[in-house]
C-alpha cells in the first residue's frame, strides 16, 4: 500500500493554506450551513419562527458542528495519535508510522484552530453569540464502552476510537464544499478539512489492518464486540446542544423536546449512523472481526449489520 502521508510536507493544509476570512458583504442570500443537514428546521414550529430567528438557529448549528470538530480533534484523535508517536499503544509502531502519527497530530491541531477561528469570525460578523458546548457526554459514552469491553486495555480502546473517527465518511464533509448555497468561507474550511481527512482515512485503514494482525485472540474478540458500540458512541447526535439552541430561539422546553423527538427518530438516527460508518464496518468485515464470538450480535443490536 502506498504511504498516504508521503506528500505531507508539500500538500498538507497546515503547510500551505492561507487563513480564510469571513466578510460581511458580497455573499447575500447564502447560508451558513445546509438546511438539509439540520433536521429540526423543517418542523412546523420552527418553520413558523421569524427569518432572523431561523438564521440564528442555522448559525448556532454551524457553531455546534465546528465545536464538535475542535473537541474531537484535540480530545480524542490527538490523544490516540500521540500514543502512536510515542510508541505507547501496546504493539510495535514502525518509525515511519510514528512520524505519520505526528503529521496527523499537526493536521488535527490545525483543523481545530481554523474551526475555532471561523466560529469567532462568524460570531463577530453576525453578532449571533456562541452557546456553551459540552463534549463531555460523548467522552463519557466512549469511556463506558471502553470500560465495558476493554477494561484492561484502555490504550487499545483509545486507538480504536481514532480508527473509527478517521475512517467515517460524513455527508457534510462530502457534500458541503460543493454546495453553492453556503458561504464560500464555510465551504472552503470544510473542503480544507475533507482534503486532509482523505489521507487520514487511508492511513488509518492501514493502521487498523496492522493492529489487527498483532492483537492476541482474546483482545481481537473484545475489540470486535466493542467496535459497533464505539461507532454508535462516535456518531450518535447529542440532542442537548440542539435543545439549547431551540430554547435560545424562544421555544418552551416541552416544545423543544417534541421537535427533537420528531426530528431525530431512532430509525432516522440509526440510518444516519449506518450510512456514515459503512466504510468502517466494511473494514471490520474485511479482517473477519465480525465473525468472532458475539461481534455480529453487537453489530445487529445497533442496526449496523449488512
C-alpha cell at 196: 486532509
pLDDT class of 23 with cuts at 50, 70, 90 = confident
- The CB density around residue 219, as the number of other CB atoms within 10 Å, is 18
Report how far residue 146's alpha carbon sits from residue 150's, in angstroms, rounded to the nearest whole number.
5
Report the SS3 class of residue 31: strand
Kindly report, residue by residue over 205-243, the tens digit of the pLDDT. Answer: 999 999 999 999 999 999 999 999 999 999 999 999 999
pTM value is 0.94
C-alpha cell at 21: 476570512
pLDDT class of 2 with cuts at 50, 70, 90 = confident
Whether 21 is in a domain gets the answer no
Kindly report, residue by residue over 247-283, the tens digit of the pLDDT. Answer: 999 999 999 999 999 999 999 999 999 999 999 999 9
Whether 91 is in a domain gets the answer yes
- Tell me 4's DSSP state: T
Whether 19 is in a domain gets the answer no
User: Are 238 and 264 contacting, i.e. CB atoms less than 8 angstroms apart?
Assistant: no
Q: What is the CATH number of the domain that holds 109?
A: 1.10.620.20
Whether 15 is in a domain gets the answer no
Whether 52 is in a domain gets the answer yes
Q: φ, ψ for residue 191 (rounded to 5)?
A: -65, -40
Whether 13 is in a domain gets the answer no
Q: Domain tally for the chain?
A: 1
Whether 4 is in a domain gets the answer no
Bridge partners (DSSP) of residue 31 are: 182
Q: How many angstroms separate the first and last alpha carbons of the chain?
A: 27
Domain enclosing residue 243, as ranges: 38-301
Report how far residue 212's alpha carbon sits from residue 287's, in angstroms, rounded to the nearest whole number.
8
Report CA 63 to chain centroid distance, whole Å: 14
Amino acid at each position: 500500500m502506498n504511504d498516504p502521508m508521503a506528500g505531507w510536507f508539500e500538500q498538507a493544509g497546515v503547510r500551505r493554506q492561507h487563513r480564510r476570512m469571513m466578510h460581511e458583504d458580497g455573499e447575500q442570500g447564502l447560508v451558513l450551513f445546509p438546511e438539509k443537514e439540520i433536521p429540526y428546521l423543517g418542523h412546523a414550529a420552527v418553520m413558523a419562527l421569524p427569518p432572523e430567528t431561523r438564521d440564528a438557529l442555522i448559525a448556532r448549528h454551524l457553531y455546534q458542528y465546528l465545536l464538535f470538530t475542535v473537541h474531537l480533534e484535540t480530545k480524542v484523535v490527538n490523544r490516540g495519535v500521540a500514543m502512536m508517536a510515542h510508541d505507547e499503544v501496546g504493539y510495535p509502531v514502525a518509525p515511519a508510522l510514528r512520524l505519520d502519527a505526528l503529521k496527523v497530530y499537526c493536521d488535527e491541531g490545525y483543523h481545530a484552530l481554523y474551526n475555532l477561528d471561523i466560529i469567532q469570525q462568524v460570531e463577530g460578523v453576525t453578532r449571533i453569540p456562541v452557546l456553551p458546548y459540552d463534549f463531555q457526554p460523548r467522552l463519557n459514552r466512549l469511556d463506558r464502552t471502553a470500560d465495558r469491553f476493554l477494561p484492561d486495555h484502555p490504550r487499545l480502546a483509545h486507538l480504536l476510537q481514532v480508527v473509527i473517527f478517521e475512517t467515517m465518511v460524513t455527508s457534510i464533509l462530502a457534500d458541503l464544499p460543493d454546495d453553492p448555497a453556503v458561504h464560500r468561507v464555510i465551504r472552503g474550511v470544510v473542503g480544507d478539512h475533507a482534503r486532509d481527512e482523505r489521507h487520514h482515512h487511508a492511513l488509518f485503514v492501514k493502521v487498523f489492518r496492522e493492529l489487527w494482525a498483532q492483537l492476541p485472540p482474546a483482545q481481537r474478540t473484545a475489540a470486535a464486540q466493542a467496535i459497533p458500540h464505539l461507532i454508535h458512541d462516535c456518531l450518535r447526535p447529542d440532542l442537548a446542544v440542539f435543545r439549547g439552541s431551540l430554547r435560545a430561539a424562544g421555544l418552551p422546553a416541552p416544545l423543544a423536546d417534541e421537535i427533537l423527538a420528531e426530528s431525530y427518530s431512532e430509525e432516522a438516527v440509526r440510518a444516519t449512523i449506518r450510512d456514515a460508518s459503512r466504510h468502517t464496518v466494511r473494514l471490520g468485515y474485511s479482517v473477519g472481526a465480525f465473525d468472532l464470538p458475539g461481534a455480529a450480535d453487537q453489530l445487529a443490536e445497533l442496526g449496523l449489520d449488512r
